[in-house]
Amino acid sequence: MQGLQSSHGINSRHGLSKAHTSHGLTAKAGHHGHDHDRPDSYGPIGVMGSHVHQAGTWMASYRFMYMDMRGNRDGTRHVSTGEVLNDFMVSPTNMQVEKHVFGAMYSLTDDLTVMAMFPYIRKSMRHVNRMGVRFTTRSDGIGDFKLMPLYAFFRKGGHSLHLNAGLSLPTGSIHKSDDTPTGPDQRLPYPMQLGSGTFDLLPGVTYLGQTESWSWGVQPMGTIRLGENSNDYTLGNRFNITAWGSRVWTDWLSTSVRIDGQVWRNIRGDDPKLNPRMVPTADPDRRAGERVDVLLGANLYAPEGRLKGNMLSVEGGFPVYQSLDGPQLETD
């Protein structure tokens, strides 16, 4: 069975200049080439850093993301729990990840917006060993803090391009532990940790297009790990490209379809407290993979009234292709 993922969030925009309304909704078509007072003015909620703001405005956001992974895969083939236990003492069976992401954006100029994201993460993973004993490990806490300037360098008509120049700070723990059948307070494998333990570059570029009833975008992004963390390993670099199209139905509703592709590499080095022969999630050479997801979303925007300038967004999707250097749980 493949995993499911969903996200939803709330955005609120505000102006800090006398030229702006109390919610900062003054970025009309012609200034940036885009109308910002419509429900598709931002990309789907799962796309980070999809837009810049008019000078002097800021936005606060909250995102909730959920992912459910069930079953193991090696390459493109489903692998049974029994097959995993032929090679390892323990097999993971499923995993849930919850992320609460608090964000803020502030526009220093019409071309330069700064975005910050601070996540709180909860993870749980269920296992079974060769003796048939089932157990669950859990971890929770803050993740890696991300800071990302967005710089618009091209605007013409309904088209624009901006650079995403992010930096991820190692605020998430890489020392999480829990009780297991092998003993108390055991170091948890790599997927159960909350951060990378390294400073990471997040380079990218975002293209946006807009007509009266439609909008679309493309965003390639990378994650480049810098150095080795304090547990003697480096998570693999990642590359992501996503493309979406949105349709405006009313002044308060738009819907979207998005395709998201990811490639990620194996871990370099290894945590000396993990035994790669115990469970596949502790093997640094079984973490790479590639995946393509299809996601459907909706934005609900308040164009007037007391909630003017606020937006509620939802998005959910599923993988249509996965190839994993496994065995791994079927989504990352």
pLDDT band at residue 35 using 50, 70 and 90 as cut-offs:
low
Run of H or E residues at 87: helix 81-87
Q: What is the CATH number of the domain that holds 276?
A: 2.40.128
Residue 148: pLDDT over 90: yes
Class of residue 305 by CB neighbours under 10 A (exposed 0-12, middle 13-18, buried 19+): exposed
Residue 139: pLDDT over 90: yes
Please give the share of the chain, as a percent, with pLDDT higher than 70: 89
* Average pLDDT for 191-198: 98
pLDDT band at residue 2 using 50, 70 and 90 as cut-offs:
very low
Written as six digits, the tokens of 251 are 């002044």
The pLDDT value recorded for residue 331 is: 78
Domain total for the chain? 1
* Average pLDDT for 11-19: 45
Is the pTM higher than 0.85? The answer reads: yes
DSSP 180-230: ETTEEEEEPPGGGSSS-SSEEEEEEEEEEEE-SSEEEEEEEEEEEEES--T
Average pLDDT, the chain: 91
The pLDDT value recorded for residue 37 is: 80
The pLDDT value recorded for residue 16 is: 42
Q: Are 278 and 234 in contact (CB under 8 A)?
A: no
Mapping DSSP to helix (H, G, I), strand (E, B) and coil, where does residue 311 land?
strand
DSSP letter (8 states) at residue 280:
G
Q: Are 318 and 64 in contact (CB under 8 A)?
A: no
Domain range enclosing 93: 4-329
Residue 125: pLDDT over 80: yes
